[in-house]
Amino acid sequence: MTRPLFLTDLADPLPTPGSGVRLGGDEGRHAAVVKRITAGEEILLADGSGRGLIGEVTAADKQGLDVTVRQLLAAPPPARRLTVAQALAKGDRGELAVEMMTEVGVAEILAWQASRSIVKWTGERGAKSLRKWASTAREATKQSRRLRVPAVAGPLSTRQLIARVQTADLALVLHEDATESLAQQQIPAAGEILLVVGPEGGISPEELDALTAAGARPVSISDGVLRTSTAGVVAAGYLGLPA
């Protein structure tokens, strides 16, 4: 059986093999009460920033688990880092995109308030929606047994997105009318790749012109038009991340 992963604060430096740690708080209660983890089982603990461990549960109560460290784990930052600017989408499509992109190893997800996005993130609604994306990324990290939780930020205006395009090592805009495909691009072995995914209504001509002027390259990934919720993860698959 695959070891379940729980996210928690870990000591710096990491505890040594043979030592004991306590998984408490919400994660500990979830592990003990909902997951029903018991003594003798092995679990993964990670801090979400690339450090983790394999441990054996020695005791469980309603407040958490006592764990003996068996092996230390580490996931160094990848040489090639993928950031995805995901346009806001209606319903749960944005959260689905965040979930799938987290599972394949995207390093950062930026919520983009595109001009054709049907939903608008403002005030408390925007803050609540961003927290939901962050929670989705956290849960997807646990499901996929990754040691790194992707950063989630936004919502970015188009002007703010252009500033990110200008600092990326390579910026790509997924667009159905692009004359070049993603497969034709020379992908750098290291650095940040920024991928821009538009909303259901597509990227406006004005936005495309502004992004292209800032250095982004329009590319296609299909002979059809993918949903905004799936385009980012398909592109990530082409790029072969993480690297």
- Give the model confidence (pLDDT) of 166-220 as tens digits: 999 999 999 988 888 888 888 998 999 999 999 988 899 999 999 999 999 999 9
Question: Would you place residue 92 in the very low, low, confident or very high pLDDT band (cuts 50, 70, 90)?
Answer: confident
CATH no. for 80-240:
3.40.1280.10
First to last CA, the chain: 27
**pLDDT computed for residue 241 by the predictor:** 64
Diameter of the chain measured on Cα atoms: 60
**Extents of the domains making up the chain:** 5-74, 80-240
Average pLDDT, integer, range 79-83 = 94
Which CATH superfamily, name and number, covers 5-74? Hypothetical PUA domain-like; domain 1 (2.40.240.20)
Give the model's pLDDT for residue 50.
96
Residues 129 and 121: beta-carbon distance below 8 Å: yes
| 66 vs 125, residue with greater confidence | 66
Give yes or no for residue 33 having a pLDDT over 70.
yes
Q: Which of 226, 222, 215, 224 lies closest to 238, judged by CA?
A: 222
Q: Which amino acid is at 1?
A: M
The Cα 53–Cα 5 span in angstroms is: 10
Distance set, CA 99 to CA 92, 104, 142, 206 (Å): 11, 9, 11, 29
82 contacts 239 by C-beta, under 8 angstroms:
yes
Res. 94: pLDDT tops 70: yes
- Flag whether pLDDT at 222 surpasses 90: no
Whether 79 has a pLDDT exceeding 60, the answer reads: yes
Cα 229 to Cα 73, 87, 147, distances in angstroms: 32, 9, 24
| Other Cβ atoms closer than 10 A to 95 | 18
Give mean pLDDT, residues 134-159: 96
Residue 197's nearest CA partner among 112, 130, 133, 92 is: 112
Taking residues 82-97, report their average pLDDT.
93
